[in-house]
Structure 1
Amino acid sequence: MTPELTALTLAALLQVVQFVTFAIPANRELGMGYTSSARDRPPSREMSDGTGRLQRAMNNHFEGLILFSIAVLVITFSDQGSLLTAVCALAYLGARVLYIPAYYFGWRPWRSFIWFVGFGATVIMLVSALI
């Protein structure tokens, strides 16, 4: 497996970890009645700030993972993997791992910087496929 595909696989597993990390406190705070419902109405209770941050970090990774997946697939299918794309893939993964505590603990401005590292690594991979 290429380094880029390995990073993508690990990023997908990270998404699973993020989902579980969010789902456990969300179920505790909102109750199973609400979380197992169709959610046609707002919850009767609010989530804690920390649980809300875990949810937003998870959703942010869903968004970033789409673009990163495209970059990895383009690099892999066009057989353009290089040291640069491998380093970028690992940078994306590392940034996403760091983003979770950065968001949870409200590290400003570091959370935005960490996000930008992952986004920038993805853009570099896409651009390198065109060169």
Structure 2
Amino acid sequence: MTTELIYLTATLILALVQVVAPAAVKDLEFGLAWGVGARDHTPVSKNPVVGRLERAKANLYETLPLFIGAVLIAHVTGAESALTLWGAALYFWARVAYIPLYAFGVPYVRSLVWMVSLAGLILILVALFI
């Protein structure tokens, strides 16, 4: 497996972590009975971290299909290069850094880190045309 595919796999694992994270924080706030119940009536969370984690997850899901497609196209066409390697690495590590920055409400730096992830995605796409 290429390094780019390893980063893709790691990003998919990160996406799963981002599914579980807000639910885990809600379980802590609302109790285990709520967490394993039918959740017919979900109370509004008073913990801002829950909303931030949910928004960070939604943000990942906006670019994840593009990242998946770009990495797979690069792999299938044999276009993997230093650009795709750096692009995949930048995308993944920026997405990792993005989660705590968003969860703790860090402004500006969070946006810069998001731009780094976008730059990584763009590097992969550029590599497809070189």
Alignment of 1:12-27 (within 5 A): 12-27=12-27
Matched residue, 2:82: 83
Matched residue, 1:122: 121
| Residues 80 and 127, structure 2, Cα contact 8 Å, conserved in 1 | no
Instruction: Find runs of 4+ consecutive structure 1 residues off by over 6 angstroms.
Output: none
In structure 2, distance between residues paired with 1:63 and 1:47: 26
Matched residue, 2:6: 6
2:86 matches 1:107: no
In structure 2, distance between residues paired with 1:49 and 1:92: 26
Q: Structure 1: 5+ residue runs without aligned partners? A: none
Deviation at 1:36, TM superposition (A): 3.6
Deviation at 1:71, TM superposition (A): 0.9
Task: Report the residue type matching 1:25 in the other structure.
Answer: V
Q: What is the root-mean-square deviation of aligned Cα atoms in Å?
A: 2.0
Farther off after superposition, 43-52 or 80-89: 43-52
Provide, for residues 33-87 of structure 1, a one-character-per-residue CA deviation record: whole Å limited to 9, x for no partner: 79744x6x8x442341011101111111122211110110111111010112111
> How many aligned positions are there?
128
Deviation at 1:124, TM superposition (A): 1.7
Farther off after superposition, 28-37 or 54-63: 28-37
What TM-score comes out, normalization by structure 1 length?
A: 0.86
Q: Structure 2: 5+ residue runs without aligned partners? A: none
Deviation at 1:25, TM superposition (A): 1.4
CA separation of 1:24/1:74 partners in 2, compared to 1, >3 Å: closer, same or farther?
A: same
In structure 1, distance between residues paired with 2:43 and 2:92: 36
Matched residue, 1:29: 29
CA separation of 1:84/1:34 partners in 2, compared to 1, >3 Å: closer, same or farther?
A: same
In structure 2, distance between residues paired with 1:35 and 1:118: 37
In structure 2, distance between residues paired with 1:47 and 1:15: 24
| Residues 86 and 123, structure 2, Cα contact 8 Å, conserved in 1 | no
| Residues 74 and 126, structure 1, Cα contact 8 Å, conserved in 2 | no
Matched residue, 2:94: 95
Farther off after superposition, 27-36 or 66-75: 27-36
